Amino acid sequence: MIEFAEVYKKYGRKKAIHSMSFALEKGKIYGLVGPNGSGKSTTLKLIAGLAYPSEGNVTVNGKKPDRKTAGTVAYLTELDTLYPSFTPKDLISFYDTQFSDFDQTRAYELLSFMSLEKDTKIKHLSKGSRGRLKLVLALARDAEYLLLDEPFSGLDPMVRESIVKGLLTYIDFEKQTLLIATHEIAEIEALLDEVLVLLNGELIAHEEVEALREEKGLSIIEWMKVIFQSSAKRNEI
């Protein structure tokens, strides 16, 4: 389980996360949604042990995240950090030496699914192809938690749809939990079990997607519009 308890995160004087509390259960797909600058990336970094809370507590399976958390958490950053002189084959070999849960067979299956050549240097790949390669490296791990930060950025809309459908094939929900931080909500709505909405560093809503559809008759986007309008009215008072 992932838990946040009254978490604050500051970068200098800037508040990135403000009084955030929530719990995520295993075996579900969560959407972490909100506009750019709402705190999505910071939230994932706190879970992955790449940043530490200024106040409050973050725990993953009851332990505070640190650099060793990489053993149970696969983190896909939104940044383009791949080695330009490597090929996908080189990266797969490298990741296999770094993570005990990395599955080379699955990685090559994913490489084929993503329509990527194993011997093309990274520096010769398009932004969209590099994005697909990052997904290959993340999904090829048997990590308990998969954290994907804007995984569809730079991908063609038609490619996104195919990749979203493929996500379900390569994740074992008996032992894995997926958290997707994105503002591309339409593509992932059908996948999600629960959605968390961030705005200005605050968690303003957390809801089960099925309840939204069946009890409120709303899509995630329609619900978010209502949430944001209510938040704006409160701020005007």
Predicted confidence (pLDDT) per residue in 158-215, tens digit? 777 778 777 778 888 888 999 999 877 877 888 899 999 999 999 999 999 988 888 8
In which band, very low, low, confident or very high, does the pLDDT at 90 lie, cut at 50, 70 and 90?
A: very high
In which band, very low, low, confident or very high, does the pLDDT at 217 lie, cut at 50, 70 and 90?
A: confident
Which residues are CB-neighbours of 178 under 8 A, at least 6 positions away?
A: 28, 29, 30, 145, 146, 148, 167, 171
Predicted confidence (pLDDT) per residue in 116-170, tens digit? 999 999 999 988 899 889 999 999 999 999 999 988 877 777 777 778 777 778 8
CA dihedral (7, 73, 23, 160) in degrees, to 10, reads: 100
Q: In the structure encoding, which two tokens stand for residue 101, read together?
A: 């849960």
Residue range of the domain that includes 133: 2-236
- CATH of residue 166's domain is 3.40.50.300
Structural domains in the chain (count): 1
